[in-house]
Amino acid sequence: MDVEWAIDGLTKEVFIVQARPETIHSQKDFSKITEYILDDATPRKTLFKGIAVGDKIGGGKASILFSLDKRVTEGHEFQAGDVLVTDMTDPDWEPIMKKASAIITNKGGRTCHAAIVARELGVPAIVGCGNATEILNSGQVITASCGEGDEGIVYEGLIPFNKIETDLKDLPNLKTPIMLNVASPSMAFRFSHLPNAGVGLAREEFIINNYIQVHPMALLKHRQLNDPDLSATIKTMVRGFDSEEDFFIKRLSYGIAKIAAAFYPNKVIVRFSDFKSNEYYNLLGGKHFEPHEENPMIGWRGASRYYSDKYKEAFGLECKAIRRVREEMGLGNVVVMVPFCRTVEELLKVQEVMKGYGMERGKEGLEMFLMAEIPSNILLADEFSKHIDGFSIGSNDLTQLTLGLDRDSSLVAHLYDERNPAVKAMLKMLIDTAKKNKVKVGICGQGPSDFPDFAQFLVDLGIDSISVTPDSLVKTVKAIYEVEKK
């Protein structure tokens, strides 16, 4: 429906002015999924290769950016539809990534920032290319193809490609629930039309970076800092809200609520913020509150922040935002998830802080999941099971920490594989323990999306659910069906 409404400026009452059938979005065909295949008849000149992210194809003018401080390089301004070519991305780059027809980076592996965000935006990306910024020139027309397997290939010029459509009605029904990884609220209603059992991972970082854009502690403490420019910027940002706290809570709750509403009444598992210190540093005002860490990937992140005196107040804003979504907006399908929790004692500390902000497991039906992404989560699964409603396997970090490699490094990307026997042994151990304790266990990591045989392995183990990126839905469903029909 197309609903026209008005708010009385004095009484704040809302009036429905008129309602009529909506004639644009309601006419769209959501019954098909499109796959992309290059035209074999067209000659191709390969420029270089990297790691493919997703399975789409994109092309356009290359726009080489080394820094967001200067959006124009070599006389070429980034335009919507350009191919973003850079060294590596972080959350600050997401507004530009949204406008790109494809993304190419020198560094990174299949689970680096550029790869994760590109999947969620539905933009083809080729990462870990080594020297893409040196090979290409701004303005050069190229094609980035992720439609040829795990290897992403950059071609000279625009290469025509074909689209193959799959009718969703032809997909087989599965016994294993398939959920979706969704970070962008703006994409939520589009993805909700796909066959799904809910959202297995909604990352707060995307919402904070795009809808809030300021470090939460800077919002709360900017008046105590000797930074008049920061204070002036924040005061402008929060104009129209009751306070800085009100700004953060409402902005975060709007983003979460849009995803939760799109998939209601199915579960939407919202992961509390998991920025690393270097990523938080890049948010407005972050330099005043973030330490320098030699290896932020295994530093002050996830659960260790939530009970820290240096961050606890900011975590409280996240709790208040989720309470607003669940209790005021009525979206009780939101489930919370704690990331990167190293010990059982740490989990209990987080729960105590949550309780202080009015969020208690079991209260108002609130469920709590734990990201199983650290070997200690697996080894201590018996004890963790006593305090949670379910595990969600974060295979990206679990693979990194089990194999002892940096998943952002292209130098060791060839060793990064969720199908490594050591990682598989960890997963079997967790699923067996979870079943013994009657606790749900699913997976939201990238493995099942990239490797259908990995999804089949998890189904054989009896996993309760698998959450995949929307662009991997068709191939994952088909792979799982092959296992279940035996």
Phi and psi at 121, nearest 5°, equal: -85, -15
Averaged pLDDT, 316-334: 98
Task: Evaluate if residue 75 carries a pLDDT over 60.
Answer: no
Residues 186-219: tens digit of each pLDDT: 889 888 989 999 999 999 998 998 889 999 999 9
Please give the pLDDT value at position 119: 82
Residue 141: band (very low, low, confident or very high) from pLDDT cuts 50, 70, 90: very high
Per the document, the length of the chain is 486
The arithmetic mean of pLDDT across residues 124-141, rounded, is: 94
Whole-number pLDDT of residue 406: 87
- 366-377 average pLDDT score: 98
Please indicate whether residue 222 is annotated as part of the active site: no
Residues forming a β-bridge with 201: 181
**Mean local confidence (pLDDT), 343-369:** 97
Residue appearing with tokens 């489930």: 335
For residue range 87-118, list pLDDT tens digits in order: 999 888 888 899 999 999 999 987 788 988 88
Catalytic residue check, 112:
no
Phi and psi for 114 in degrees, rounded to 5?
Answer: -60, -40
pLDDT at 71 > cutoff 60? no
pLDDT of residue 72: 44
Catalytic residue among 112, 129, 319, 444: 444
Which position among 113, 215, 222, 319 bears the catalytic label? 113
Task: Specify whether the CB–CB gap between 53 and 127 falls below 8 A.
Answer: yes
Domains of the chain in sequence order: 32-165 (3.50.30.10), 171-484 (3.20.20.60)
pLDDT score recorded for residue 24: 64
Confidence of residue 165 (pLDDT cuts 50, 70, 90): confident
Taking 80 as the threshold, does the pLDDT of residue 182 lie above it? yes
Joined tokens for residue 110: 């299949």
Tell me the C-alpha to C-alpha distance, in Å, between residue 77 and each of 82, 87, 255, 475, 481.
9, 17, 30, 37, 47
Q: Which residue has the tokens 């963790």?
A: 384
Is pLDDT larger for residue 33 or for residue 343? 343
Q: What CA–CA distance (Å, rounded) separates 460 from 462?
A: 5
Q: What is the mean pLDDT of residues 292-316?
A: 96
Would you list the DSSP string of 369-407? EEEE-SHHHHHTHHHHGGG-SEEEE-HHHHHHHHHT--T
Distance CA 362, CA 351 (A): 12
More confident residue, 381 or 150: 381
Mean pLDDT over all residues of the chain? 91
pLDDT tops 70 at residue 69: no
